[in-house]
A = this chain, B = another copy of it.
Amino acid sequence: MARISQAEFAQLAHEHVPFVGMLGIQVESLEAGKASIRIPFREDFIRPGGTVSGPVQMALADIVMYAVVLSLIGRVELAVTTNLTCNFLRRPKPVDLIGRGQILKLGKRLAVGEVLLYSDGDPEPVAHVTCTYSIPPTTQEPIAISPSPPTPLPQAGEGSE
């Protein structure tokens, strides 16, 4: 079970991180070590080319990873991002943006996870993000998570880019 509830995290995000709250995020699911968050589309997210801008994508990835980490260590507001690496893969469509994150490693001092971002309704990710959080020393013992299964590989087939 997650150490922070979906409702509690949503409130935390909106009240305590106003800039991110402004994005109108909706926490779709939150379990121990994984989270899914949606940003409803807004016209002012567009950048030249008619695509959702990179900063909106990175903001979503960061808040998804924050949810993933808090789901495992509880409400530790001082956990901070130390590294975020984003590979932008495809131009997002002008629709809702969805971020799905999972933990890769939860250590005593660092948590590493990955987040895939999707345009609503499209199975191909628009961005891949890895993110590291630094966990303050005083944090309680995190809850145990099972080993990550090997990531399944995509099938070659009739699909197209």
Contacts and interface: CB of A to CB of B under 8 A. Distances in A.
Measured as residues with beta carbon below 8 angstroms from the partner, the interface class of chain A is 35 or more
Given A53-B20, A156-B146, A112 B128 contact: yes
A102 B151 contact: yes
Contact of A154 (B47, B147, B157): B147
Contacts of A7: none
Number of copies: 4
Nearest to A161: B106
A78 B161 contact: no
Nearest to A157: B146
Contacts of A59: 55, 58-59
Contacts of A103: 154
Given A19-B44, A20-B55, A83-B87, 9 more contacts: A18-B44, A49-B77, A83-B88, A84-B85, A102-B151, A104-B128, A124-B147, A125-B148, A146-B154
